Amino acid sequence: MKLVKVRNPEEMSAFAARRIIEKVSSSSMLSLGLATGGTPVGTYEFLIDDYKKKQTTYRNVFTYNLDEYVGLESSHPNSYHYFMYNHLFNYIDIPSENVNIPNGVASNLKQEAISYEAKIDKIRGVDLQLLGIGENGHIGFNEPGTALNMLTHVLALSESTRQVNARYFNNYDEVPNHAITMGISTILKSKEIILLASGESKAEAVYRMFTEKVGSNCPATVLRNHSNVVVVVDEKAVSKL
Ligand code: GLP
């Protein structure tokens, strides 16, 4: 795992955006694994800005999002589907048929998880996966305790994650109890991974990711078993390392 230290969230976002743009511009076809949450927003802003200036095209880019809340329609402002259109897809030329996000309102969620995994297998894992990290060390929605060999699955969110994510909702009770997420094994199929972390609230998780024994107590530790991972952290997020 390569550690890149930067000064602030803006440098972190610029680093990730530069790598994405480099891959998009040099590939005839590219699969991108994308993340939601506050962390990647700055990266998406850089991509939109670059698109406006240089017309970098996303017509041959296929995206695969990490996760989605169960029970939220794609039109719900807190769904990750809505998030992705609102923060990126509405502003670039990616065809909507190239966009893949787990369907959190599928009538058969187990089948949805199997189909989503099959899509990722079809492309033999995404070319470049962008990741954030939860304060408890989760990646995607793989909470502590999740088996490391899990593929895309439905899970119950931990109380702590619901509490942390409640800031995006009107109140805690509105935060869904369940989510559908790529599993740890799914994420490890990616050919290249960039994990971003900024701010003091991530310092403990970053410390644990690098120092704790690889295992499900801190799911992000498994990235140490992958041969092509770059962790980009700002000064606050790396302060405990
Ligand atoms: C959420 C998402 C993760 C994200 C993490 C951190 O629960 N499922 O994909 O990386 O928590 O979110 P944020 O970037 O808002 O801190």
pLDDT, position 8: 98
Ligand 1 centroid to residue 38 C-alpha, Å: 7
pLDDT, position 126: 98
Cα gap 225→184, rounded to integer Å = 11
Cα gap 30→15, rounded to integer Å = 19
20 inside domain: yes
pLDDT, position 210: 98
In one-letter notation, the amino acid at residue 133 is I
Active site residue 153: no
State ipTM.
0.97
Percent of the chain with pLDDT over 70: 100
In the set 50, 65, 81, 138, the catalytic residue is 138
pLDDT, position 95: 98
pLDDT, position 93: 98
- Classified as helix, coil or strand, 104 is coil
Domain that holds residue 176: 2-233
Number of domains in the chain: 1
In the set 50, 68, 112, 143, the catalytic residue is 143
Query: Longest C-alpha distance within the chain, in Å?
Result: 45
Cα gap 99→127, rounded to integer Å = 15
Write down the mean pLDDT value for the chain.
97
**What's the burial of 48, exposed, middle or buried (CB within 10 Å: 0-12/13-18/19+)?**
middle
- On whether the CB atoms of residues 131 and 193 are closer than 8 A, the answer is yes
pLDDT, position 4: 98
How much is the average pLDDT of 198-221?
98
Active site residue 136: yes
Q: Rg for the chain (alpha carbons), in Å?
A: 17
238 inside domain: no
240 inside domain: no
Ligand 1 centroid to residue 66 C-alpha, Å: 10
207 inside domain: yes
174 inside domain: yes
CATH number at residue 59: 3.40.50.1360
Ligand 1 centroid to residue 67 C-alpha, Å: 10
Percent of the chain with pLDDT over 90: 100
161 inside domain: yes
* DSSP-assigned states of every residue in 176-192: -SEEEE--HHHHHT-S-
Distance in angstroms between the alpha carbons of the first and the last residue of the chain: 14
66 inside domain: yes
Cα gap 74→104, rounded to integer Å = 8
Tell whether pTM > 0.80.
yes
Cα gap 35→31, rounded to integer Å = 13
Residue 226: band (very low, low, confident or very high) from pLDDT cuts 50, 70, 90: very high
Residue 80: band (very low, low, confident or very high) from pLDDT cuts 50, 70, 90: very high
* DSSP-assigned states of every residue in 204-239: HHHHHHHHSPSSTTSGGGGGGGSSSEEEEE-TTTTT
175 inside domain: yes
Residue among 196, 170, 185 nearest 226 (CA) = 185
- Chain-centroid distance of CA 3 in Å reads 18
Backbone angles phi, psi at 116, to 5 degrees: -65, -45
- How far from 40 is each of 9, 76, 108, 130, 153, CA to CA, in Å? 10, 20, 30, 8, 23
Residue 83: band (very low, low, confident or very high) from pLDDT cuts 50, 70, 90: very high
